[in-house]
Each structure stands twice: as structure tokens, then as C-alpha cells.
């Protein structure tokens, strides 16, 4: 078994929490990499990560802080996977923060860290000014009444042998011990997610419901704990396009009525544009760009964000690049033909092996977030080229 060498690369101005990431010794030299081939990780970031103000702060008081989160998974045989690297952001009551990225970018791991299901390798999750400390079942349960999680797949997240009534009665009894009339509470929950008449749904089993109805039950189950924070992990990606909008509108309505702090995880950046206040784009376990939703989607600065936006189906663009048989779609798109086969780079910027404008510095050093405006930041060495109007105009 090859041990990780454990020598932390001497990088100036290391971001908080980066020390633990150094355990996996991803010193940005080629020789080091070949010496430890089992390490499956992105490289240390170079430079101080910029502190970004969130546009979502205007919506309401601070609900939750993620500070310098790192998560390293052991894969066995000396291999490690850095799923999350130095991720910091805040959730505010009544605001939606969208976490956007492709499969394997670490967005679900971030949600699990916030939910207390996984413990960060380093970094903290702070609620009400106190770092969370989920040590045992009781503290986990207590934490759960603040923070709830909605899963992606409504077909597998509901137990097929329990009725909707049972699924909702249990969390009401657990999290609202003062409530005498649980039946009325369950009815109220079902009405909140617009499953009416409630009496008709209480006795149903998951297989008797459509996908959209099942996801509504999942929402109701999460709301039964009366949370302040709701983590929604791809809540609509398993649903039909025609139903997605209704579900997002329902979530938005719940957010404003219950003043929920909502983390919306998705790979569909178009829905983030409509639904979120702030968008965080993740790639290779780190945030590569963040800022106000409209701003990020209309003027993406990071080449990866530009690729994401160029890849989204665009109905307004009939007879597009696709039909012409032209695979070249903007900066980054040129290499997107290999997207399925190339993972994040382990040396330098994680996107450098797919980025059309990457240079030697990109392949050597991993950039930290740099401020573009007080509310926007991107982690890219070549922002002067990437964010220029010509580059984004060519998409």
C-alpha cells in the first residue's frame, strides 16, 4: 500500500482548511504526480480565495455558513479522492442558492456535508453562530429539525411499503412533539404541497402516485420537521419537463411563505437562472465561479461556465451548431467532444485539460477565486481572455 507522502506543499497564503487537503500531497509537479499515481484529486489552490459578498444576503438573515469545507474520501489501496475542496458560502433565509455542476463535480457531497450526513475532513458548517457537532443520534436528530434534505429520486426515496400518511406522521411525531393532533398536522402538510384533497392521499402508497406527486410527498416530509434550511438535491431532474416548472414554483412558494433558506442543486443552469438568487458553479470539487444568477448565466466568466451554458438545449436557436454537425461550441466547447472521457485534471486548474485557452500556468497552478465585482468571483488565471466580450460572444 502506498502511503500518501503527507508533505504539505509550501504555498503562500493558503486558504483556510487547505492544510487537510495537503494530506493527499498533490504537489503541483509532474514527478510528484507520477510517484503517487493512486491519488485521484485536484491540486491545491494558489493564492488567497477572495471573499465574495452574496446577493442573497438582501433576502433575509443568515441561516447557515459553510466555511472552508474539504472532504477527502479514502478509496483504498492508498488512493484518495478529494470530492470537495475549500468550499465556502452562506445560505440566507428566504433566498435560493443554486449549486450547479456536472455529475461528479462534488455538489451532492457539499449537500451531504451541510446535512450532517458526512463529516468534513476540515472546515466547518455554522448554524446560528455555532459550528454544528453531529456526534450521536440525538444531536443528529436535533440538527435535522433545522436542516432537511430532499432527495433526487422520488421513486426510491419513499419506502414502497409505507403509506403517505405513515411517511408524514413519523416526522411530525419526532420533530413536533408538542403537536396533539398529528392527523391535522399531516393534512396541513399535504395542503402546503398542494396534494388535495389530503384525505385521499394519506392512504396512498408511493406506487399509486405519479413522479410529481411523489416528489411533493418528499417535500412534505422534509417540511414536517419545520426546518429553516432545505437542501434540495436535483429535486426535479427525474421529473418530466412539463412537471418540473410546477415543482420549482411550489418550492419557490414554500421558500417565500416559510422563509426557508434553500440550497438548490442542479446540473440545469437554465433553471438556476430563473429560480436562484445566487449561482455557485462547481467543477472538480471546487467553486469555479459564483455570483448573481442573471449575471453568471448571461455573462459567464469561467470557461467551464461558458461550456455549461453553451451545452444547454437552446430552443431559441433553431438550426444551431448541432444540426450543422459542428461540435465546436464556444470556448471550451471545442474540446467538449471528450467530456465523457476526461476527468478533472490533478495538476493545476482542474479544468485545464478541457479548457481551450489553458496555458502553462493553468496546467501548473490551481487558481483560487478572484473577485470580478464585489458580488462575483471566478477561479481562472486567464480571466482577461475568458471573460472578454469576444470570448463569450462566440458561444
48 binds other proteins (CB under 8 A): no
Q: Reduced to 3 states, what is the DSSP secondary structure of residue 145?
A: coil
Share in percent of the chain as helix, strand, coil (round to 5): 35, 20, 45
Interface characters, 186-225, with other proteins (x: CB under 8 A): ------------------------xxxx------------
Residue ranges of alpha helices (H) inside the chain are 18-21, 30-35, 107-115, 137-144, 164-175, 182-192, 198-202, 211-223, 241-258, 269-275, 293-298, 303-311, 330-333, 360-364, 383-386, 389-393
CA dihedral 140, 143, 147, 148 (to 10 degrees): 40
Q: Which is nearer to other proteins, 122 or 286 (CB)?
A: 286
- The answer to whether 367 and 33 have CB atoms below 8 angstroms apart is no
Q: How far is the CB of 342 from other proteins (least distance, A)?
A: 10
Q: How far is the CB of 314 from other proteins (least distance, A)?
A: 6
Q: How far is the CB of 78 from other proteins (least distance, A)?
A: 20
297 binds other proteins (CB under 8 A): yes
The x, y and z cell numbers of residue 293, run together, are 444568477
Q: Considering only residues 157 through 186, tell me which ones interact with other proteins, judged by CB under 8 A.
A: none
Q: Considering only residues 366 through 385, tell me which ones interact with other proteins, judged by CB under 8 A.
A: none
- The answer to whether 25 and 33 have CB atoms below 8 angstroms apart is no
Report which DSSP code applies to 187. H
Q: How far apart are CA 51 and CA 279, in angstroms?
A: 15
Return the ∠ at Cα 289 (arms to 368 and 265), rounded to 5°. 125
Q: How many other CB atoms are there within 10 angstroms of residue 202's CB atom?
A: 19
312 binds other proteins (CB under 8 A): yes
Among 114, 222, 261, 307, binds other proteins (CB under 8 A): 307
The x, y and z cell numbers of residue 146, run together, are 433545522
Interface characters, 240-259, with other proteins (x: CB under 8 A): xxxxxxx--x----------
Among 99, 186, 217, 309, binds other proteins (CB under 8 A): 309
Q: How far apart are CA 386 and CA 383, in angstroms?
A: 5
Residue ranges of alpha helices (H) inside 16-73 are 18-21, 30-35
Q: How many other CB atoms are there within 10 angstroms of residue 318's CB atom?
A: 7
Among 115, 132, 336, 349, binds other proteins (CB under 8 A): 336
- The answer to whether 149 and 233 have CB atoms below 8 angstroms apart is yes
Of 26-34, 117-125, 304-312, 386-394, which part binds other proteins (CB under 8 A)? 304-312
285 binds other proteins (CB under 8 A): no
320 binds other proteins (CB under 8 A): yes
362 binds other proteins (CB under 8 A): no
Among 10, 34, 323, 389, binds other proteins (CB under 8 A): 323
Q: Which is nearer to other proteins, 91 or 269 (CB)?
A: 269
Q: How far is the CB of 132 from other proteins (least distance, A)?
A: 30
Q: Which is nearer to other proteins, 175 or 267 (CB)?
A: 267
Q: Which is nearer to other proteins, 90 or 271 (CB)?
A: 271
Q: Which is nearer to other proteins, 10 or 318 (CB)?
A: 318
Q: Which residues pair with 231 in a beta bridge?
A: 149, 263
Query: In Å, what is the CA distance from 146 to each residue of 40, 111, 143?
Result: 34, 14, 5
76 binds other proteins (CB under 8 A): no
316 binds other proteins (CB under 8 A): yes
Of 25-33, 61-69, 138-146, 270-278, which part binds other proteins (CB under 8 A)? 270-278
- What residues line the site for other proteins (CB under 8 A)? 102-103, 210-213, 240-246, 249, 267-271, 273-275, 294, 297, 307-323, 325, 327, 329, 336-341
Amino acid at each position: 500500500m502506498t502511503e500518501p507522502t503527507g508533505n504539505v506543499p509550501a504555498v503562500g497564503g493558503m486558504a483556510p482548511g487547505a492544510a487537510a487537503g495537503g494530506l493527499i500531497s498533490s504537489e503541483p509537479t509532474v514527478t510528484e504526480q507520477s510517484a503517487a499515481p493512486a491519488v485521484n484529486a485536484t491540486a491545491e489552490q494558489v493564492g488567497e480565495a477572495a471573499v465574495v459578498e452574496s446577493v442573497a444576503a438582501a433576502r433575509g438573515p443568515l441561516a447557515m455558513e459553510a466555511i472552508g469545507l474539504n472532504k477527502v474520501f479514502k478509496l483504498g489501496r492508498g488512493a484518495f479522492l478529494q470530492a470537495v475542496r475549500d468550499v465556502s458560502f452562506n445560505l440566507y433565509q428566504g433566498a435560493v442558492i443554486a449549486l450547479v455542476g456536472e455529475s461528479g463535480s462534488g455538489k451532492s457531497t457539499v449537500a451531504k456535508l451541510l446535512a450532517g450526513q458526512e463529516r468534513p475532513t476540515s472546515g466547518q458548517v455554522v448554524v446560528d453562530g455555532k459550528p454544528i457537532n453531529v456526534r450521536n443520534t440525538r444531536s443528529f436528530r436535533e440538527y435535522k429539525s433545522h436542516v432537511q434534505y430532499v432527495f433526487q429520486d422520488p421513486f426510491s426515496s419513499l419506502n414502497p411499503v409505507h403509506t403517505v400518511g405513515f411517511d408524514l406522521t413519523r416526522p411530525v411525531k419526532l420533530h413536533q412533539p408538542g403537536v396533539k393532533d398529528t392527523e391535522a398536522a399531516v393534512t396541513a402538510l399535504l395542503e402546503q404541497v398542494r396534494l388535495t384533497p389530503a384525505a385521499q392521499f394519506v392512504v396512498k402508497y408511493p406506487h399509486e402516485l405519479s413522479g410529481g406527486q411523489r416528489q411533493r410527498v418528499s417535500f412534505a416530509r422534509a417540511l414536517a420537521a419545520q426546518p429553516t434550511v432545505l437542501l434540495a438535491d436535483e429535486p426535479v431532474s427525474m421529473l418530466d419537463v412539463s412537471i418540473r416548472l410546477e415543482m420549482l414554483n411550489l418550492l419557490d412558494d414554500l421558500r417565500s411563505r416559510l422563509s426557508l433558506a434553500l440550497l438548490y442543486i442542479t446540473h440545469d443552469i437554465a433553471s438556476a437562472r430563473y429560480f436562484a438568487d445566487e449561482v455557485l458553479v462547481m467543477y472538480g470539487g471546487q467553486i469555479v465561479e459564483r455570483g448573481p444568477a442573471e449575471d453568471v448565466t448571461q455573462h459567464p466568466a469561467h470557461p467551464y461556465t461558458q461550456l455549461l451554458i453553451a451545452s444547454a438545449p437552446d430552443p431559441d436557436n433553431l438550426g444551431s451548431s448541432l444540426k450543422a454537425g459542428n461540435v465546436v461550441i464556444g470556448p471550451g466547447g471545442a474540446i467538449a467532444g471528450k467530456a465523457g472521457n476526461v476527468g478533472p485534471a490533478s495538476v493545476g486548474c482542474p479544468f485545464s485539460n478541457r479548457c481551450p485557452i489553458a496555458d502553462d500556468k493553468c496546467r501548473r497552478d490551481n487558481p483560487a477565486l478572484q473577485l470580478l465585482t464585489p458580488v462575483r468571483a471566478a477561479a481562472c488565471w486567464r480571466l482577461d481572455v475568458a471573460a472578454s466580450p469576444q470570448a463569450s460572444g462566440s458561444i
